[in-house]
């Protein structure tokens, strides 16, 4: 990781650095942070002569060689100084809440528009709505591209940034062109390295963020963080890690709730953790407790499925969506825990 003395290299300096790296079979990848741009060396960076040449340039402060499987996502990387800001919230400072329906019903957009107003009034900062859905059964409703317009309209009406899952390469540009602010990569695609790369490439140079769900089958924390490294590698560091329960299930819950993984993630990376209690437990009645536990474990945010009338929903909404009224209560209580952590545990 090359750290320049100033906040970024001039084009001439970048050209000089690039030429040196290329002579040693490496290339440079700028990573644009909020405060400064840093430059990752892509390739084998062990050649001392190359390192000496770069460090000898008078506009270079130093080179950080982080012994870690993930150079950019590592806690010690300089990206740790940047803070992601979405919907008026700086993640890591204030509690960040994404809420909205699991699935937008294209036949009933009115529910989604009402849900959007409901989650806004409850205090959410971003609006989620599933357009394309990963379904276990191929005959279940698979989502509908027409729902994207409903999502964007609800985002405009409420002023909330919008979040939706992309499952296939062609979804990425459709979502970005429509103005989606946060691309979700679902649990089933968290290990789809080709999709991770394509999302990383597509959001480079944009303010777009990514909500990366934890795979149902991910083991060590490093595996989750390495998946995010695939995205950040292309230059946009706006990634949030989202534990959402794993397999096998805890009998009675939809998955095995994994909100306790948050401190382990934070030990190794600077990335914000936004926990999804809805898929973790899979039943509306258990969602509030899981949400509060997640914040107690240090989550920076929550992603909660919410519907104005869950019984009229489709996808996961009838079973696991809470109402905006319950959401308002969860946010109020979660904020208290979040603030307590900031003023006691973390200070
Ligand atoms: C969802 O958010 O509705 C969803 C399908 O999530 P996951 O990928 O975590 O199952
Ligand atoms: Mn869902």
Q: How far is the CA of 314 from the centre of ligand 2 (A)?
A: 10
Q: Which of 151, 259, 276 to mutate to test the pocket of ligand 1 (most atoms within 8 A of CB)?
A: 276
- The pLDDT of residue 58 is above 90: yes
Beta bridge partners of 27: 42
pTM equals 0.90
Atom of ligand 1 nearest to the CA of 133: 5
- The pLDDT of residue 54 is above 50: yes
Whether the CB of 125 sits within 6 Å of ligand 1: no
When the pLDDT of each residue in the chain is averaged and rounded to a whole number, the result is 94
Instruction: Look at residue 41 and give its three-state secondary structure.
Output: strand
Cβ neighbours around 127 below 10 Å, total: 30
Count Cβ atoms within 10 A of the Cβ of residue 4 and give its class: 0-12 exposed, 13-18 middle, 19 or more buried: buried
Whether the CB of 287 sits within 6 Å of ligand 1: no
Residue 265: how many CA atoms within 13 Å on its side-chain side? 30
pLDDT tens, residue by residue, 244-267:
999 999 999 999 999 999 999 999
> Which residue, judged by its Cα, is nearest atom 3 of ligand 1?
102
pLDDT tens, residue by residue, 284-342:
999 999 999 999 999 999 999 999 999 999 999 999 999 999 999 999 999 999 999 98
> Which residue, judged by its Cα, is nearest atom 8 of ligand 1?
186
Check: CB of residue 191 under 8 Å from CB of residue 227.
Answer: yes
Check: CB of residue 291 under 8 Å from CB of residue 282.
Answer: no
Q: What is the DSSP letter of 246?
A: B
Q: How far is the CA of 245 from the centre of ligand 1 (A)?
A: 10
Q: What is the DSSP letter of 123?
A: T
Tell me the residues surrounding ligand 2 (ion) with CB < 5 Å.
102, 316
For the chain, which domains are there? 2-65 (3.30.70), 85-346 (3.20.20.70)
Report the candidate in 168, 180, 93, 76 with the shortest Cα–Cα distance to residue 128: 180
Which has the higher per-residue pLDDT, 78 or 211? Answer: 211
Alpha-helical regions (H) of the chain: 11-23, 48-55, 109-122, 147-158, 169-178, 193-203, 221-232, 262-268, 277-281, 287-296, 317-320, 324-340
């Amino acid at each position: 990781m090359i750290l320049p003395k100033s906040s970024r290299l001039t084009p001439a300096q970048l050209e000089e650095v690039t030429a040196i790296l290329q002579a040693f079979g490496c290339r440079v990848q700028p990573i644009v942070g909020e405060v400064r741009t840093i430059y990752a060396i892509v390739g084998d960076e062990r050649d001392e002569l190359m390192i000496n040449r770069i460090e000898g340039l008078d506009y270079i402060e130093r080179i950080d060689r982080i012994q870690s499987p993930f150079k950019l996502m590592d806690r010690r990387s300089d990206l740790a100084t940047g803070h992601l800001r979405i919907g008026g919230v700086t993640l890591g400072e204030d509690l960040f809440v994404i809420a909205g329906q699991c699935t937008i019903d294209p036949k009933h957009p009115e529910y989604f528009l009402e849900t959007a107003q409901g989650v806004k009034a409850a205090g959410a900062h971003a609006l989620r709505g599933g357009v394309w859905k990963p379904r276990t059964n191929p005959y279940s409703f698979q989502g509908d591209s027409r729902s994207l317009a409903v999502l964007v309209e609800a985002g405009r009406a409420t002023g909330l940034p919008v979040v939706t899952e992309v499952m296939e390469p062609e979804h990425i540009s459709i979502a970005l062109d429509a103005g989606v602010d946060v691309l979700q990569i679902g649990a089933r695609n968290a290990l789809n390295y080709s999709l991770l790369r394509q999302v990383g490439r597509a959001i480079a140079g944009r303010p777009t963020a990514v909500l990366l769900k934890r795979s149902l089958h991910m083991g060590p924390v490093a595996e989750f963080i390495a998946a995010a490294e695939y995205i950040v590698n292309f230059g946009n560091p706006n990634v949030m890690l989202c534990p959402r329960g794993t397999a096998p299930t805890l009998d009675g819950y939809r998955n095995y709730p994994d909100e306790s993984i948050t401190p382990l993630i934070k030990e190794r990376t600077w990335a914000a953790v936004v926990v999804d209690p809805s898929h973790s437990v899979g039943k509306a009645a258990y969602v509030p407790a899981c949400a509060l536990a997640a914040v107690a474990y240090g989550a920076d945010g929550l992603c909660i499925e919410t519907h104005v009338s869950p019984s009229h929903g489709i996808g996961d909404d009838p079973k696991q969506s809470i109402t905006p009224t319950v959401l308002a209560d969860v946010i109020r209580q979660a904020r208290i825990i979040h603030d307590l952590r900031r003023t006691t545990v973390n200070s």
